[in-house]
Structure 1
Amino acid sequence: MSDVPAVPRTSRGERTAARLRDAARQVFAERGYAAARVEDVVAAAGVSHGTFYTYFTNKAGALDALIDETARELQTVVEEPWDAPDAAQAIATVIERFVDVFADHADVVGTWLEASAHEPHFRQRLREVRDGYIARVAQQLDPALASTPHDPKVAAAALVAMVEGYATQGLRADDAEDRASRVRTLAALWFGGLLGLTQPIG
């Protein structure tokens, strides 16, 4: 991550940092990461340049702070147990949790993907987060695929890419019906794909 200036942890300081994060999120979503400037974030937040630089080294630092929040929520999903009465329901529940995070942070994820296409730092952060939930999914798939020729990590990577792709293509946080529809379809594809992988080849 980018170096973050040392900021006293006061309630006022936390409020100012939150205002700057919200402003950066808005500006990145509206202008795109490449076109966004610190001046735009400062104007949206209604603070001075000096205040911005008290909290962030540059606009990359502001994006890092937004990514931190999104990554924490994704990590929470990764660490949750896959508890459900049956495998199909467990898969649907996990996908729903991932889609919820992607929907709630769709603007941040979009900015993150844009930045990762041009800046190695953000590409590495994206890889680290993806690797975390791919490893978790692979861990869950391992027992089912143990007696097959299929690599759980490859299967997990493909399944995660499917969810990420669907969840980041125009998914809106306020469109509950669309979100539920995507979860149902993704869960059916996951479950059907896994059943196919457990069948004998030939």
Structure 2
Amino acid sequence: MPEPEPIRIAGAEFDLDAAAATALLAVTEPLARGRAQGRTGKLGRRGALTRQRLLTSARTLFEQHGYGAVSVLQISEHAGLSQGTFYQYFTDRAHIMSTLVLGYVAALVSNAALAWSVDDGRAGIAALLDFYVRDYLGNAAFAGAWEEVCQIDPAFADARRRLTHFLERGVEQQLRRGIEHGVLDPPGDAAATARALTAMADRFCFLTYSFDQRGAAMDWRESARLLTDLWWQVLRSE
């Protein structure tokens, strides 16, 4: 059987299985819609390295200074390239940010650790939240930049909303299984409970690692353990 062709969105290629590709397309469709593609076609090794230099520089600067404070000229200079070279690969600052978001979402939706199963009991919740907190911590500065751009660009806000819905649906599906099998007893219906629990995890991580750090950042293991205890107290069937 031939290998599946990589999917291409907004000039970026991703090697994903069918389920992850479907999720990525659904989440990031607002970013691909109406965006100019920049340089098209297969990049050679040199072109791929140049494009990656620009992406790395953009992410570094967005994380350090915020999206609004960074210009195309600054990204180009940080990468050691001209603005003309930047425009060979990306049409503007929003285009390079959307490409960074695409890569972040692709990594997230393709990770098997998000596949929580109620059959694993509390250990399954712990594994899910261990992954989520650890991944968030590793991308905390970028999450802050994405949060910022969501306030000024509706396409980014729509993609963020869709990613939230994707995460909520995964939790909701398992809650419904747990209710059906009598192993979980949430205080509300599955959809509302899934929203409340995912919002708790997401906002806790945002406040703790991106927005309002107080002294030394809380160890991710401690954060994951706290969230696991809270989820389990809400969901367990006595």
TM-score class, shorter: 0.7 to 0.9
Deviations 1:128-176 (A, max 9, x none): 111111101100111233587722111111111111112223438xx99
Go from structure 1 to structure 2 and tell me whether the alpha carbon gap of 1:52 and 1:113 turns closer, same or farther (over 3 Å shift).
same
**Alpha carbons 2:118, 2:175 under 8 Å: kept:** no
RMSD over aligned CA atoms reads 2.4
Match of 1:34 among 53, 68, 75: 68
Report the 3-state secondary structure (helix = DSSP H, G, I; strand = E; otherwise coil) of the residue aligned with 1:150.
Answer: coil
In structure 1, stretches of 5+ residues that fail to align are none
Q: In the alignment, is residue 4 of structure 1 matched against residue 37 of structure 2?
A: yes
Go from structure 1 to structure 2 and tell me whether the alpha carbon gap of 1:90 and 1:156 turns closer, same or farther (over 3 Å shift).
same
Matched residues, percent identical?
28
The aligned counterpart of 2:199 is 161
Q: How does 1:13-162 map to 2 (within 5 A)?
A: 13-77=47-111, 80-82=114-116, 86-146=120-180, 150-162=188-200
Offset at residue 76 of structure 1 (A): 2.2
Tell me which amino acid in the other structure corresponds to 1:4.
Q
Tell me which amino acid in the other structure corresponds to 2:174.
Q
Go from structure 1 to structure 2 and tell me whether the alpha carbon gap of 1:3 and 1:100 turns closer, same or farther (over 3 Å shift).
farther
Q: In the alignment, is residue 192 of structure 1 matched against residue 233 of structure 2?
A: yes
Which aligned segments of 4 or more residues in structure 1 are displaced greater than 6 angstroms? none
Go from structure 1 to structure 2 and tell me whether the alpha carbon gap of 1:135 and 1:90 turns closer, same or farther (over 3 Å shift).
same
What count of residue pairs does the alignment treat as equivalent?
195
**Alpha carbons 1:70, 1:101 under 8 Å: kept:** no
**Alpha carbons 2:39, 2:90 under 8 Å: kept:** no
Go from structure 1 to structure 2 and tell me whether the alpha carbon gap of 1:57 and 1:28 turns closer, same or farther (over 3 Å shift).
same
Offset at residue 4 of structure 1 (A): 2.1
Offset at residue 84 of structure 1 (A): 8.3
Offset at residue 80 of structure 1 (A): 4.6
Distance 2:99 2:157 in 1: 15
TM-score w.r.t. the length of structure 2 is: 0.74
In structure 2, stretches of 5+ residues that fail to align are 1-30, 211-215
TM-score w.r.t. the length of structure 1 is: 0.87
Report the 3-state secondary structure (helix = DSSP H, G, I; strand = E; otherwise coil) of the residue aligned with 1:191.
Answer: helix
